[in-house]
Structure 1
Amino acid sequence: MTIPTRITLARLIMSPVFVVLAIKYSSTITLGKPDVLFLYLAMIVFAMAVISDALDGYLARKLNQRSRIGSFLDPIADKTLLLSATITLTFIDCGKLIPIFYTTLILSRELIQISGAIAIGTILGDIKVKHHWTGKFSTFMQVILIYSAFLVPSESIMLYLSIVGGLFIFISAALYIYAGLSQLPKEAHANP
């Protein structure tokens, strides 16, 4: 197993660890005795997971250790981390919650992308996905929101960040849908 793949697997393991730490921190708040150790540990685990995302890709290229299993697991680890953190921080008390509309947008985008990829893959047998900067920015905003749920004392700031992030989720989803549809043969567009 390659080093980058091991890092990706570690990121997969960090997702439930983060969730447990965030829930544990939330339970200490509910009991009226916030234990910041759980807060700090959750933030450290999340930071390590985010850094590991950049590191595994860099090492795969630098060490020429790209693998099929790594290419398969990397996006799963990314989605698992960000979705589990976002959903958890939408529903637990850890400071300021991530607004439900934002989480709904994230889940809708993922469902549309997965459904579209399956449909286009079934028709064409192969899918070419080019990442767009709006998708990367919406992911960046999602990471900022996750940290903000712990650190930002203002609901209005959380709402603002959610609106900006949500706008880019919507734009990136529209661009990915357009890119997916443009891969279909012209006859598929003419005869729905």
Structure 2
Amino acid sequence: MTDTCSSSFSRRALLRAFAATAVTAAPTYSMAAGFLRGSGDIRRLKMYNGRTGEKIEMIYWIDGQYVADAVQEVNHFMRDWRNGKVKQIDTRTLDIMAASWNLLRVDEPFTLISGYRSPETNAMLRANSSGVASNSLHLQGQAADLQLRSRSVSQIASAAASCRAGGVGRYSGSNFVHMDCGRVRSWGS
């Protein structure tokens, strides 16, 4: 057990060192992965979950490789908070989120409104709202609903749409943006 904790700490220390020396840039490419090129060969997520109070800040990709332990932590962080069910989050969605965050040039974390949704949760939400799709990409771990205090829905949606890598929904009345790795499309106001 001591060896596991020690190696985990060493890995985190290494990742923090990479993060401390990384230079973040936002070149103009047409896909989310393109926006992430030139960002110090790392990809980072910084989020806060208002439902659980949890925070996450981590590098999930280094030098062309996803960091398996980091991706697993993101999966748990983005779980269905209503019942605790966890699903593998599509790394393409993580890339869109990271690219959008970089383009917005903020330091504050995204606030996660919704990540993975279990079928039970999606059915409950559908019964109470007309804006929930029966085949939502949240069910597949391919979508996230996010907000930032310092940026408007329009600004966040514009950053996500500029990636041209998936769906972007503006929910101005509820103050969040939907990002997914499905087909390129947009909706809302």
Greater share of residues in strand: 2
Normalized per residue, the structure richer in helix is 1
Q: One fold, TM greater than 0.5?
A: no
| Structure of larger gyration radius | 1
TM-score, normalized by length of structure 1?
Answer: 0.30
